[in-house]
């Protein structure tokens, strides 16, 4: 029986990650950026080659940025704290996602898009870099009415924190706005992740329409630079300046000042709150050796998972960022967006 007492409600594009180690040949042939992210259609020659030449070399891992973050939060939180929604097909890939969520302690209220295949994300790994090639499939067909179904609506109303992955804005802005407005009306935190540079670049209008309801915005340095370029900020590489610009945007609920959090890989994380725009906080990341780093795929999602868990537990922003750092560090020492098992203590 599904509980209606979940603390964290996450929404995004559920995808099955297909990890290709030593993908230098694919990177060069398809002119992929080492740490880039692109979308392709089902009939893409990239995916045809992946099936024909690499099927015996790949590793399958439950993915989708927001789903990765949900699993990260569930790693820390008590059982039955996290629920996730997105659109999947009625197929074996969706069954794999459900099984992976069950192990991770995440429940799901998927929308089933009949006639569409569950989305996939090829992760082309080269050294410590990863290039993402995504086929959205069923994820692109999320129905806004799903949020108003009795079961899902009850879960949303009882949640304490809400999280949306930026990739969702490419097709589901109406659903994201509905969730964000509900959070705002209830005075509960709404967290948005930029997720990839192309989101602020290509979906600037959608992003700006959502920003008045965003309490915490998370992004990395490349996404922050893309946001700065898309919105005409003068200094595109000054992370503190970009964070201040984001934090100071108009807000529908000014009683909850917006916080902008910009990660920078193994470098420090920059945090600015609208409550203190002149006070930039910088949180160092505990360094790892090259030998300890296995795969950087999903590190940002793991950071978000730790951050979200901290928010649910009522921790300070400093503690939330530290929890995010610990989860990100754990993730890069695994293959794919995965976490150590048996569990290790984070708090």
Residues facing 120 on adjacent strands: 16, 135
Beta strand spans in 24-181 (E): 37-39, 59-63, 82-85, 87-88, 106-108, 111-112, 119-126, 129-135, 161-165
Residues involved in catalysis: 301
The answer for residues whose C-beta is within 8 angstroms of residue 257's C-beta and 6 or more apart is 247, 251, 273, 274, 275
Count the alpha carbons within 13 Å of 205 in the hemisphere toward its beta carbon. 4
How large is the angle between the packed helices 317-331 and 299-312, nearest 10 degrees?
150
Q: DSSP assignment, residue 164?
A: E
Contact 333, 294 (CB under 8 A): yes
Q: Can you tell me the distance from the alpha carbon of 107 to that of 67, in angstroms, rounded to the nearest whole number?
A: 10
Structure tokens at 10: 């996450």
Omega prior to 342 cis, within 30 of 0 = yes
Q: Can you tell me the distance from the alpha carbon of 304 to that of 324, in angstroms, rounded to the nearest whole number?
A: 6
* C-alpha torsion sign, points 112, 36, 73, 104: positive
Q: Can you tell me the distance from the alpha carbon of 140 to that of 87, in angstroms, rounded to the nearest whole number?
A: 7
Buried/exposed code over 259-270 (b: 16+ C-beta within 10 A; e: otherwise): bbbbbebbebbb
Q: Can you tell me the distance from the alpha carbon of 97 to that of 15, in angstroms, rounded to the nearest whole number?
A: 8
């Amino acid at each position: 029986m599904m509980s209606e007492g979940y603390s964290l409600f996450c929404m995004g594009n559920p995808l099955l990650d297909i990890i290709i180690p030593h993908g230098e040949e694919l990177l060069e042939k398809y002119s992929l950026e080492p740490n880039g992210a692109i979308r392709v259609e089902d009939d893409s020659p990239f995916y045809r080659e992946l099936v024909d030449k690499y099927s015996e070399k790949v590793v399958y891992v439950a993915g989708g940025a927001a789903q990765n973050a949900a699993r990260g939060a569930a790693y820390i939180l008590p059982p039955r704290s996290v629920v996730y929604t997105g659109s999947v097909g009625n197929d074996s890939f969706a069954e794999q996602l459900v099984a992976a969520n069950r192990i991770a302690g995440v429940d799901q209220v998927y929308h089933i898009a009949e006639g569409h295949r569950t989305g996939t994300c090829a992760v082309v790994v080269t050294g410590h870099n990863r290039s993402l090639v995504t086929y959205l499939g069923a994820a692109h067909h999320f129905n806004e009415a799903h949020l108003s179904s009795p079961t899902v609506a009850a879960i949303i109303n009882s949640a304490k924190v809400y999280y949306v992955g930026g990739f969702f804005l490419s097709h589901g802005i109406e659903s994201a706005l509905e969730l964000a407005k509900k959070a705002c009306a209830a005075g509960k935190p709404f967290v948005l992740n930029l997720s990839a540079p192309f989101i602020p670049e290509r979906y600037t209008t959608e992003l700006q329409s959502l920003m008045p309801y965003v309490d915490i915005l998370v992004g990395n340095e490349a996404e922050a630079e893309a946001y700065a370029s898309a919105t005409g900020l003068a200094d595109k590489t000054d992370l503190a300046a970009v964070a201040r610009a984001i934090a100071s945007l108009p807000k529908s609920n000014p009683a909850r000042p917006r916080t902008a959090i910009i990660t920078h890989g193994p470098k420090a994380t920059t945090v600015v709150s609208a409550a203190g725009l002149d006070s930039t906080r910088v949180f160092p990341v505990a360094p790892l050796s090259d030998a300890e780093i296995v795969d950087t795929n999903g590190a940002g999602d793991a950071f978000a998972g730790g951050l979200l868990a901290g928010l649910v537990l009522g921790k300070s922003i400093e503690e939330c960022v530290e929890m995010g750092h610990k989860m990100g560090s754990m993730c890069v020492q695994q293959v794919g967006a995965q976490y150590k098992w048996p569990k290790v203590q984070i708090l």
